[in-house]
C-alpha cells in the first residue's frame, strides 16, 4: 500500500513540475529599453577605425523573460541593415562615419515563438571635420505604406516628420505622382504636411526631400497608398 502511495505521489510531482515548466515557457519576452546612442543625437563615442568607419557600442536595458536579443541597425543613407545576436545587453558594431542610422532591439525567449521589439531610435555617427550634419530622412505619418484610404473632397493629406541633430531644417520638397519614380510636385514646403488631389481606385507614390539651412539634404524612401 505504501509503495503504491509513493508511486502516485511521484507521478503527481513529475506532472506538477512539467506543468510549471510549460507555464514558464509560455511567458512572452518583454520589450527592451534603448539607452545609447541617444535618440536623434550625434554619436561622438566609439573607436575610430579610419576616416570612413568606427566601432560603436549600442546599449539597452535588460528586458523581462528574455534569453537573447537581436539588434538591427539600418543605414539611412543606403538602406542596408546590419544585424547581430547576443545574450548581453550591449553589442559593438563597425559602422560608417558621417552617416545617419536607426536601430532597434528584438527580445527573444527560449521555448516561445513570440518576440518583442523596442522603439526605433535614430542617431548620427559623427565624421571627421563635420560642422553641420544633414537631416535624418523624413518618416511618414500618414497615409501609412500601402494603406487604402478614403479621400475627403477628393483630397488626401500627406503627413511626415523631420528631424535634424542641428535643429536647422529649412524646408521640404514633395515628389508625387502615379509613377513608382515620383517627380517633383511642390518645393519649399515649410510645414510637415501637404494636401494633394486624388482619384478613387488609383495608387499614388510620394517622397520627401529634407533641406537644412546649411544646404544639406536627405532623401526619404518612396511611399505609396491606394485611394478607395
The confidence band for 216, taking pLDDT boundaries of 50, 70 and 90, is very high
* Residue 126 pLDDT class (50, 70, 90 cuts): very high
Rounded Cα distance, 8 and 120, in Å: 53
Q: In the prediction, which pLDDT does 129 show? A: 84
What cell numbers appear for 60 in the block? 539597452
Does pTM top 0.85 for this prediction? no
Residue 11 has pLDDT above 80, yes or no: no
Domain 139-227 listed as CATH 1.20.1730.10: no
Per-domain boundaries in the chain: 33-125, 139-227
201 φ, ψ (degrees, to nearest 5): 65, 25
- R_g of the chain computed on alpha carbons: 25
CATH number given to 33-125: 2.60.40.10
Sequential DSSP letters for 33-83: EEEESPTTEEE--SEE-SSSEEEEEEEEEPPTT-SEEEEEEEETTT--EEE
Give mean pLDDT, residues 17-38.
Answer: 75
9's enclosing H/E stretch is helix 2-25
Amino acid at each position: 500500500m505504501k509503495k503504491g502511495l509513493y508511486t502516485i505521489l511521484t507521478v503527481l510531482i513529475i506532472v506538477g513540475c512539467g506543468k510549471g515548466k510549460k507555464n514558464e515557457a509560455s511567458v512572452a519576452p518583454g520589450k527592451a529599453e534603448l539607452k545609447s546612442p541617444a535618440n536623434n543625437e550625434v554619436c561622438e563615442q566609439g573607436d575610430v577605425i579610419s576616416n570612413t568607419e568606427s566601432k560603436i557600442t549600442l546599449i539597452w536595458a535588460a528586458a523581462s523573460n528574455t534569453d537573447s536579443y537581436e539588434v538591427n541597425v539600418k543605414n539611412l543613407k543606403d538602406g542596408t541593415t546590419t544585424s547581430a545576436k547576443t545574450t548581453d545587453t550591449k553589442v559593438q558594431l563597425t559602422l560608417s562615419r558621417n552617416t545617419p542610422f536607426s536601430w532597434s532591439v528584438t527580445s527573444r525567449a527560449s521555448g516561445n515563438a513570440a518576440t518583442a521589439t523596442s522603439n526605433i531610435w535614430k542617431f548620427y555617427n559623427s565624421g571627421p571635420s563635420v560642422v553641420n550634419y544633414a537631416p535624418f530622412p523624413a518618416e511618414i505619418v500618414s497615409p501609412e505604406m500601402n494603406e487604402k484610404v478614403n479621400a475627403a473632397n477628393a483630397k488626401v493629406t500627406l503627413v511626415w516628420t523631420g528631424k535634424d541633430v542641428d535643429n536647422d531644417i529649412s524646408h521640404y520638397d514633395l515628389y508625387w505622382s502615379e509613377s513608382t519614380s515620383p517627380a517633383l510636385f511642390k518645393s519649399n514646403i515649410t510645414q510637415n504636411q501637404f494636401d494633394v488631389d486624388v482619384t478613387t481606385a488609383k495608387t499614388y507614390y510620394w517622397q520627401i526631400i529634407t533641406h537644412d539651412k546649411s544646404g544639406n539634404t536627405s532623401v526619404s524612401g518612396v511611399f505609396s497608398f491606394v485611394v478607395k
